[in-house]
Amino acid sequence: MATNAEFAELLQQYDRPLRAGDIVEGIIIEVRPKEVLVDIGGKSEGIVPATEFIEFDKVKVGDKIPVLIEKLEDKEGYLHISKEKAEFKQNWERILAIANEGATVTGVVKAAVKGGLIVNIGVEAFLPASQVDVSPPRNLQQFVGQTITCKVVKVNQERQNVVLSRRELIEQERNERRAKLLAEMMPGDIRKGTVKNITDFGAFIDLNGLDGLLHITDMSWGRINHPSEMLKVGQEIDVVVLEVNREKERVSLGLKQKMRNPWDNIEEKYQVGQKVKGKVVNLVPYGAFVELEPGVEGLVHVTELSWTKRIARPSDVLKPDQEIEAVVLGINRDEQKISLGVRQLETNPWDKAMEKYPPGTRVKGKIRNLTSYGAFVELEEGIDGMVHVSDISWTRKINHPSEVLKKGEEVEAVVLEIDKANQRIALGIKQLTSDPWEHIDDYYKVGDLVTGKVTKLASFGAFVGLQHDIDGLVHISQVSEERVDKIKNVLKVGQEVTARVIKIDKADRRIGLSIKAANYSAEQLKAEQAALDALKPGEDLVALQHAFEAADEERREQDQQ
């Protein structure tokens, strides 16, 4: 209910007629759900909608409000009045006086509209979205109901509108704070900040007026793949100031520096020979990095994964995030490196190999692989021996092991040498028997009649397989009394022939044969021997020597092919 003094004031309004466009003071005499009934001292009351009140829930009977008379009594007998228009008219002159462009005003955000906010500063003013903050906010609705301070950037008297900027005030305040922070901030300071932005290389931290960079390498002593694993936008954190560049206004920050570097006392925690457990954090062609604790990783080189298996890539036996056990092989604190080994968890089979396979031992095994230079024989799981191509036969020239050996075939051999350091065992097959050339004088003499099969034809002659796994060479000049142009016209591979031994060269391990001399009588042989002794350079014996040289040359060409 209105007091006597209030009624007295209203009575004064009765003394003068009410006109449209007047601003008068009214008293709320009734509060309804969506409107209020206002007495302005006239014959009838006016109605003000609830939407014209910022906080309608606090409105009560007896409150005084200014209203603008828009129209006298309507058909229902009510006055058309507006609280908002009264305040706008009252405030507009005041706004024009104080709100020159550049002035600071405070108001309540009334609504979010397309492109910005409506702010009540006594009159409705427009705050564009681009001027709400340093970075345009995604959700303008969050500002509705908030009291904010802005700068007047434009006033249009004709249209009676005002444009505001909150961003300019924020930037001004930030510049002032930035200058103050740069002046007082020192390396080693611990500052509170908020994560403003996250990138692949780090995070920008808002230090309340100054942005600092927290690089990914300064976030943790341990391994992280992306800053988002540790931080989120909007998160508040304490950071250490690492470096301040006042000229460029740049600040470098650190997070891991709040904790002790785990490498400082690394030798106290880990010793050479110690067994450790860790997680595989990275696989590379040359090894695997294993995290022993945050900030401490060790490298298992690919050669330290197995004593016997030849592992091409660590990923063949290890997986990311796999928990493994290893042995510390070495520690370098200055370079922050720890060498680890997995194979050291087991006994090195090569330690026993020296005792198990001493030189001279006869062994058996399957041929695991053939190469141009030899055959690999598996002696036991993980341990191979190698038979070099030159140790397959005493007498035959073997161009490739596949000529006499097959993959998967079981063979017997003799251990020739063992190299533990390089994990190699040299084997020999020909050493299973004695070298027939050591007893060649017991087997063959010049003039002996021998029988064998043609094993190979060449342009210069034919090779004949003899006993004791020895080949002899029949030069094309020693095939027949008649001249032979092409050896293939008179001899074939597999053909059995009879010939005389006409030359034995122990130094070069060669035997020369003559088919044409096979049927000579004793007298003819003596005559032939005399003729051979009388041969001049360039004739048959020299031709025989050239034949051997040509044979070697042809074999070398075949090897290269």
User: Tens-of-pLDDT digits for all 561 residues of the chain?
Assistant: 455 555 555 555 445 577 777 888 889 899 899 988 988 876 778 889 988 887 888 889 998 988 888 887 766 767 888 888 887 777 777 777 766 667 888 889 999 998 899 998 877 889 999 988 888 888 889 999 999 998 888 887 777 778 888 888 888 888 888 888 888 888 888 888 888 888 889 889 888 778 888 898 888 877 788 988 888 988 888 888 888 888 888 888 888 888 888 888 888 888 888 899 999 988 999 999 998 888 888 999 988 888 777 788 898 889 998 998 999 999 888 888 889 998 888 877 777 777 788 888 898 889 988 998 899 998 887 788 898 988 888 877 788 888 888 898 898 999 998 887 787 889 998 888 888 888 888 888 888 888 999 988 888 889 998 888 788 888 888 888 888 888 888 889 889 989 988 888 887 788 888 888 887 776 776 666 565 455 443 344 444 445 555 555 555 555 454
Residue 427, in any domain of the structure: yes
Residues 442 and 536 in one domain: yes
> Quick check: is 127 in a domain?
yes
Identify the helix (H) or strand (E) that includes residue 528.
Answer: helix 522-533
DSSP 176: H
Q: Tell me 317's DSSP state.
A: T
Instruction: Report the C-alpha gap between 282 and 286 in whole angstroms.
Output: 11
Strand 250-254 and strand 236-245: pairing? antiparallel
Whether 266 maps to a domain, the answer reads no
Same domain for 15 and 65, yes or no, is yes
pLDDT of residue 289: 92
CATH at residue 295: 2.40.50.140
DSSP, residue by residue, 77-98: S-EEEEHHHHHHHHHHHHHHHH
Q: How many domains does the chain have?
A: 6
- Residue pair 203/191 in contact by the 8 Å Cβ criterion: no
Residues with Cβ within 8 Å of 343's Cβ and at least 6 positions away in sequence, in order, are: 304, 305, 306, 307
| 381 and 428 housed in the same domain | yes
Would 158 be classed as within a structural domain?
yes
Question: Which of 498, 496, 503 has its CA nearest to residue 518?
Answer: 498
Residues 354 and 336 in one domain: no
Domain shared by 103 and 82, yes or no:
no
Q: Are residues 52 and 114 in the same domain?
A: no
Structural domain includes residue 246:
yes
Distance of alpha carbon 84 from alpha carbon 89, whole angstroms: 9
Report how far residue 84's alpha carbon sits from residue 183's, in angstroms, rounded to the nearest whole number: 48
User: What is the rounded distance in angstroms from the CA atom of residue 467 to the CA atom of residue 414?
Assistant: 23
Same domain assignment for residues 444 and 555: yes
Whether residues 359 and 337 share a domain: the answer is no
Phi, psi of 379 (to 5 degrees): -85, -40
Q: Does 542 share its domain with 450?
A: yes
Which is nearest to 166 in space by CA: 209, 111, 126? 126
User: Which of 44, 63, 86 is a domain's end point?
Assistant: 86
Select from 22, 29, 32, 23 the least CA-distant residue to 7: 29
pLDDT at 3: 57
Give the tens place of pLDDT for each residue, 175-221.
888 888 888 888 888 888 888 888 889 889 888 778 888 898 888 87
- Residues 140 and 117: their CA atoms lie apart, in Å, by 7
Find, among 389, 370, 380, 468, the residue nearest to 427 by Cα: 389
Domain for residue 68, yes or no? yes
pLDDT value of position 340:
92
Helix (H, G, I), strand (E, B) or coil at 273: coil
Q: Distance between terminal CA atoms of the chain?
A: 121
Among 418, 441, 319, residue whose Cα is nearest residue 361: 418
Helix (H) or strand (E) holding 542: helix 540-560
Which of 283, 318, 345 is the last residue before a domain boundary?
Answer: 345
Examine the fold and report which residue of 170, 199, 221 is the final residue of a domain before the chain moves on: 170
Task: Please indicate, yes or no, whether residues 153 and 193 belong to a single structural domain of this protein.
Answer: no
- Sign of the Cα pseudo-torsion (326, 329, 331, 332, in order): negative
Q: State how far the Cα of 78 lies from the Cα of 310, in Å rounded to an integer.
A: 101
Which residue, chain included where needed, has tokens 């540790």? 230
Task: Give the tokens for residue 533.
Answer: 């002794």
Domain carrying residue 544: 437-560
Is position 179 within any domain? no
What pLDDT does 25 receive? 86
Task: Kindly state the helix (H) or strand (E) to which residue 126 belongs, with its residue range.
Answer: strand 124-128
Q: How many CB atoms within 10 Å of residue 261?
A: 13
Length of the chain: 561
Q: Which of 107, 1, 127 is nearest to 63 (CA)?
A: 1
Q: Does residue 125 lie within any of the structural domains?
A: yes
Residues 62 and 162 in one domain: no
Distance CA 535, CA 527 (A): 12
* Pair 111, 40 in one domain: no
